[in-house]
Structure 1
Amino acid sequence: MNNAIRHTWVFSVGLFLVLFAALSVVQVGVTDQLEAHPQNVRELYQDRGASRGAITVDGTAIADSVPSPDTPFDYQRVYRDSEVYSGLTGFYSIVEQPNGLEGAMNEYLSGRSDSQFFDRITSLFTGDTTEGAQVELTVDPELQRLAHDTIADGTRGSIVVTDVETGEVKAMASKPSFDANALATHSSSEFVATKEELQDQNVPLYGDPAIKDRFFPGSTFKLLDTAAMLESGDYAADEELEVPDELELPNSDTPITNFRGGICSQREEAELSWIFAQSCNTPFAAAAMDLGEDEIRSTAEAFGFNDSELRIPMSVTESVFPEDLTKASLAQSSIGGFEVQATPLQMNMVAAAIANDGTMMAPHLVESVRGPDLQVLEQSEPEELGEPISSSTAEELSELMKGPIESGTAVGAQSDVVDIHAKTGTADFGETTESGAPIVNSWITGFADVGDSTYAVTVAYQDIPYEDGHNLTVSNLKTMFEGAVDQ
């Protein structure tokens, strides 16, 4: 071989190696950067117009992709019964990143998960489009519909229903709601106009308020006070405690008072069971100051407060119990005020753990993920988050939670169909209507046996006149439990 041929051969081999290395870098090293580049229009059309996997409830798709032959995109994302499910599904847009389950399960729905790697490799050789996986939810469609319909129109309300033994979310609905189809449009201008209109109406677009919004839990927090009291061994359900109309607080000009117009003023002393049923503020505030901040906070954290890691699989806003409290702020915190904040899901987890003999299960929405060939890629299993209280304390609390239904603050939820245990809560943050009625956060959380299962139900309304909120929460709780029995 003469030198000219040798040089040509070496140059050709070197050029081939350079091209191979460059191709490898492009296809492997910087693929994500190229796909995400804002000027990569081809990738945008391919990604946003791809056939995503379906999100299903009881085998029926509530979100899937259909052919879109008359647009630059191959497929259009379509949502069914979207007003009922949009808080769960979120929406898939050509303008923004997916949110809700569309975002949390995007790797599976788009076919890009690790478990779908071989499907992607196969598609490179066959030329077929990689299909997304199907995500099946734990939701009961009839309970979801009932929850949505039960929440009063024109309010900011949420209902959460879970199975206490498995953590499965059976229903989670909020109002105001929206139609995700209007945001799944292939027109960016239509998307922007619709988004602005919905935001002007204060419609929550980025996460269901049941897991996103946190607000004062009011007297539902007394479940945690009572848990701490019983766990300490210094209190018992039949023990009599003082029930002053007002409780002066150290270094504070604002005393704790009982609800004006309630019946707590009828007794100077009463059993804890009666105090719990009537939700008297002053005995709980006094007990919290006696037990101390560490006891109340450790109990709250055992039930999930101050945990920023919870996913269902969407991220859940952290519920908060503050630190470094004065005696006065501890007393206010013990009745769900000061800086205590909770999501509806958080207070549902409290009730569920009590119902489940003190064991708290991880709430979850996804039952399984299946590939295009229906092979199971992921199957959810019940997961314990911990045991915040002993089984004996859970049993005592369960018995105490009969009181509000039988003769206390939740008598409106009495039912001939199901035996309900519950605790109400009202958080008055100082605002009033034009007529002077207090505007509050109104809560109720509880549980009941439903067939072979036990369900926890939480109802919460934000920024609502007191009478409306109280009547709605107790009637909604009853409706949900009786509806679950009828399933």
Structure 2
Amino acid sequence: MNTPLRRLATITLVMFVALMGAATWVQFFQAESLNTDPRNVRMLYREHGNARGPIVAGGEAIAVSVPVDDPFGYQRTYPQGDLYSAVTGFYSIANGSTQLEKAENDQLTGRSDQLFFTRIRDLLTGKKPEGAAVETTILPAAQQAAREAIGDQEGAVVAVEPSTGRILALVSTPGFDPNALAVHSTSEAAAQYRALDEAQGNPLRSKVIQERFAPGSTFKLVTAAAALESGSYTSETLVPSPVELPLPQTSATIGNFGGSSCGGEQVTLADALRISCNTAFASLGMTLGEDAMREQSERFGFLDPDLTVPMEVVESVFPSDLDPAMLAQSAIGQRDVQATPLQMAMVSSAIANGGRLMTPYLVDTVRAADLTVVSRTRPQVYSDAVSASTASQLTQMMVGVVESGSGRSARIDGVQVAGKTGTAQTTEGQAPHAWFTAFAPADAPRVAVAVIVENGGNLGNEATGGAVAAPIARAVIEAVLAS
């Protein structure tokens, strides 16, 4: 009789342990994944039932939750539509979230550990929970100027404050209206998402941080920096500048824009940058070598897979295992060199800031619902990209680009602008990308800008960085300086 009882007791104990173990596994170990699972309807109702904190630019809400008479309680709205779509992203019942709505979700919902005591206070006082406000670094005048200047062309514009790393403008075109994705009808929201996902130009992606492109001649700033940092060159050093440069071990050659001469068989490094001489910089890259080029690229932020602003920034690339011909092409920003617009703004920003690169950031302050400060971003040094001497020489070289070189369209009366144009070849049969990166005022920089207009924008194959991208940068610079 005792044996069957013992067996029954053992089975009961095993079942009890299994039940407790399963409950513990679900409630503790799987809690986070279940809470964040988009299929978890309870989580959706819980999140939407509380007021999500606003996203703010220049003191105005650019994303806010408003009460609605439906089971969800609140609906996300975006008062200025697509103007800030690359900043806010969207928050959707059917499609999740992107950009700041995703990166700052814990703050906006009030679930962040930094808001623990706020949640306890609300629980004790019976106050309905509210998310924290996320105040961005965006300068609305610069954002508006960037959006208007790029118009209906596909591309991206980003502006950074060199001394701090504050992102002042972040525009990606085509944009989209986040309100269309924030509706509470899951079928309608899903249909809107599908339409945007299939639309030309990748409107749902922020090209400033999520797309990378051949930087073309804007990358010559990195090559010039590597030369000056080597100690073997100054801005007045003569470098070879043939009309056509044969590439070693191949039958290919590199020529200059339009097949033109750079003014002789040799030019100064400053003049090579001013007129954007391909053969001079291709030759220079081979002389400097792959290691020097890669090291300089890394000091400007290339090859960093961990950069966030706080959204993740796709890694900019300088290739490895290069033969001389590949190195020559890489030195002028072609071949497999790839950069985000933010990366090229970081290059200009470091030069503007005396060689010290500050980490770019988009969130200035997080405030609880009672306006107490939860966190405030403190500027941080990313790297000493170049020496102060190199930065000074590069600044004067870039001033020459705008005053008497390929970047004349960026000139501003009474303001000295330092810049660099770029026209990057893309796939065969496609018009080149038009680039421009700059900072101003050159003697006391307040803003660094990078612009890309894809496939030449409205000018197509006739486009150059100076003709298409430089005027956009000028408009943003003027907006910042007027603020």
TM-score normalised by L of structure 1: 0.90
Q: 1:287 pairs with 260, 284, 296, which one?
A: 284
Q: Which amino acid aligns with 1:414?
A: R
Indicate the SS of the match to 2:214.
Answer: coil
Q: Which residue of 2 aligns with 1:257?
A: 255
Cα offset, 1:479, TM superposition: 1.8
What's 2:469 paired with? 473
- 1:62-109 per-position Cα deviation (integer Å, ceiling 9, x unaligned): 10100011x221100011112110111000010132110000000100
Q: Does 1:132 align with 2:131?
A: yes
CA distance in 1, matches of 2:39, 2:172: 38
Structure 1 segment 8-407 matched on structure 2, within 5 A: 30-36=30-36, 40-69=40-69, 71-153=70-152, 155-260=153-258, 262-264=260-262, 266-407=263-404
2:149 partner letter: T
**Paired position in structure 1 for 2:441:** 449
Change beyond 3 A, Cα 1:130–1:275? same
Provide the rounded CA distance (Å) in 2 between the counterparts of 1:231 and 1:472: 31
SS in 2 for 1:199: helix
The whole-number CA distance in structure 1 between the counterparts of 2:240 and 2:39 is 70
CA distance in 2, matches of 1:298, 1:23: 52
Residue 281 of structure 2 aligns with an amino acid whose one-letter code is F
Q: Which amino acid aligns with 2:256?
A: N
**Mind listing any 5+ residue stretches in structure 1 that lack a counterpart?**
1-17, 434-438
Take 2:54 and 2:443, find their aligned partners in 1: how far apart are those partners? 30
Q: Measured at CA, do residues 267 and 185 of structure 1 come closer, stay the same or move farther in structure 2, by a change above 3 Å?
A: same
SS in 2 for 1:190: helix
- Change beyond 3 A, Cα 1:336–1:19: closer
Cα shift readout 1:312-334 (whole Å, capped 9, x = no counterpart): 00000100001111111001100
- Assess if the C-alpha contact under 8 Å between 1:450 and 1:484 holds in 2: no
* Deviations, residues 268-292 of structure 1 (Å, cap 9, x unaligned): 2222211110011111111111111
Is the CA contact 1:418–1:485 (under 8 Å) kept in the aligned structure 2? no
Aligned to 2:7: none
Separation in 2 of the partners of 1:475 and 1:177?
20
Distance in 2 (alpha carbons) for counterparts of 1:38 and 1:468: 44
Classify 1:311/1:285 alpha carbon distance in 2 versus 1 (closer, same or farther; 3 Å). same
Aligned length: 463
TM-score relative to the length of structure 2: 0.90
Note the alpha carbon deviations across 1:141-165, whole angstroms, 9 max, x for none: 1111111111131x21211111000
Cα distance in 1 for residues equivalent to 2:418 and 2:91: 40
Give 5+ residue unaligned stretches, structure 2. 1-17
Change over 3 Å in CA distance of 1:199–1:23 after alignment to 2:
closer
Q: What per-residue deviation string (whole Å, max 9, x for no partner) do you get for residues 304-355 of structure 1? A: 1000110000000100001111111001100001100000000000000001
Q: 1:417 to 1:482 in 2, by over 3 A?
A: farther
Counterparts in 2 of 1:41 and 1:199: CA distance versus 1, 3 Å: closer
Q: Go from structure 1 to structure 2 and tell me whether the alpha carbon gap of 1:255 and 1:297 turns closer, same or farther (over 3 Å shift).
A: same
Q: 1:250 to 1:33 in 2, by over 3 A?
A: closer
Look up the equivalent residue of 2:370 and give its one-letter code: D
- Identical columns (%): 43
C-alpha spacing 1:82/1:417, structure 2 compared with 1 (3 Å):
farther
